[in-house]
Amino acid sequence: MLDEKTRYAADAGAQTLRTVGTPCLILDQDRMDRNVARLRERMERLGVQLRPHLKTAKSVDAARRVMTAPAGPATVSTLKEAEQFARAGVTDLTYAVGISPDKIDRVLALRASGVDLSVTLDTVEQARAVAEASRRAGDRIPALIEIDCDGHRSGVLPGDRALLVDIAQALEDGGSLRGVLTHAGASYGAIGDDAIRAAAEGERAAVVQAATLLREAGFDCPVVSAGSTPTAHFAETLDGVTEMRAGVFVFFDLVMAGIGVCAIDDIAVSVLATVIGHQPEKGWILVDAGWMAMSRDRGTAKQAVDQGYGLVCDVNGQPMDDLILSEANQEHGIITLRPGSTASLPDLPIGTRLRILPNHACATGAQHDSYHVVSGQGDRIEAVWPRFGGW
């Protein structure tokens, strides 16, 4: 890794959008900073702590721009993320995916190294495993009970008092109930301001209801954690919520633009690609960014405007009339006009560079080992930030 990083650092200064090898992932840091400032101000106004989800960025350099302080708080989706960010000095972390018993030893090791890492669970079985491991280690692992606010994924129903109390009791027998946590995953399908506002209020009400039931049953429930990028941007009140988690807001993407959470020109990541061929009679331009560079994510397929595998921009990041990456093989992308377009296919000679905005920043980011950082209209790669994957 060090060799790669050194090479990156040495190369970055000399490279531009016209010279860097393609395909590669470009990050517009002005847009990123603006996106971060926007949500941070909103959370300050609503009096709620922002606990950004670092699963989108998976980069220490990016995380430092996203967190409100170098030590956190932050959220992670894997223990690998927790370990990487802990090594970089982040000490306040929530692992927001249901814990399995075999992962508890890694949690304990991180906690022993000084990280206040909390886990997430929604069954008595998990609570017992956490409590038992806590007793064995002499370290009360803090846990959040996951609440199902919209039928989207995991979690206890917010009004299921009996199960909430059973889990809390099992947990307190060695571990520690830190609070409740929910995620309005269904908000990604909520189109328009009113629908997202309703999802936000449903998320808030559910997690507060669960916290209230636990407190009435005599449990401390200091943390009431909610959040998704759409609901964090549209919640009108967050009464009773102590922290909001959001991840993709840092970069945004076409799915978020499609539901109205951001504008196209808020999208901070794109894939730089080079034209490698033409099939003029079919109306195709071929580029060297296929699904390996874009991911297989087709999140806009269900939206009003299907952006294919991505929206095509010129090298400066300006969207081009009706051009989308409509098909993708592993290393070939096929650019066409959008179905029904009356525009004409531009003449883009072999070697032309383009930037393609992704459906889903988390998925596209995961296909790359670094961000090539630019500023606004600048051509120069100002930095190369390594990113990591794995578990």
Cα torsion angle, 170, 175, 176, 177, sign:
negative
Angle between helix axes 161-172 and 124-137 (nearest 10 degrees) is 10
Among 6, 19, 237, 344, which residue sits at the site for a second copy (rule: CB under 8 A)?
19
Distance, CA of 251 to CA of 226 (rounded, Å): 20
Which of 40, 62, 41, 67 lies closest to 52, judged by CA?
67
| Contact string (CB under 8 A) for a second copy, positions 113-142, x = contact | ---------xx-xx--x-------------
Residue 343 CB-density burial (10 A; 0-12 exposed, 13-18 middle, 19+ buried) = exposed
> Does residue 13 belong to the site contacting a second copy (CB under 8 A)?
no
Distance, CA of 10 to CA of 361 (rounded, Å): 27
> Does residue 292 belong to the site contacting a second copy (CB under 8 A)?
yes
Residues 6+ apart with CB under 8 A from 231: 184, 187, 196, 199, 200, 203, 244
| Contact string (CB under 8 A) for a second copy, positions 200-229, x = contact | ------------------------------
Distance, CA of 330 to CA of 83 (rounded, Å): 31
Nearer to a second copy, 86 or 238 (CB): 86
Two tokens, residue 271: 């894939």
At 224, which amino acid appears?
V
Among 276, 322, 338, 346, which residue sits at the site for a second copy (rule: CB under 8 A)?
276
Distance, CA of 259 to CA of 240 (rounded, Å): 27
Residues 6+ apart with CB under 8 A from 14: none
Nearer to a second copy, 28 or 288 (CB): 288
User: Interaction with a second copy in 38-67: which residues (CB under 8 A)?
Assistant: 55
Beta-bridge partner residues of 98: 120
Stretch of residues binding a second copy (CB under 8 A), selected from 62-70, 166-174, 203-211, 348-356: 348-356
Nearer to a second copy, 187 or 242 (CB): 187
> Does residue 233 belong to the site contacting a second copy (CB under 8 A)?
no
User: Interaction with a second copy in 354-373: which residues (CB under 8 A)?
Assistant: 360, 362-363, 366-369
Which of 98, 21, 87 lies closest to 271, judged by CA?
21
Closest distance of CB 350 from a second copy, Å: 5
Stretch of residues binding a second copy (CB under 8 A), selected from 95-103, 199-207, 224-232, 235-243: 95-103
Among 291, 300, 317, 358, which residue sits at the site for a second copy (rule: CB under 8 A)?
291
Contact positions toward a second copy, by CB under 8 A?
Answer: 1, 3, 19, 21-24, 55, 77-78, 97-103, 106, 122-123, 125-126, 129, 148, 151, 153-154, 185, 274-279, 282, 286, 288, 291-293, 295-298, 329-332, 334, 349-351, 360, 362-363, 366-369, 389-391
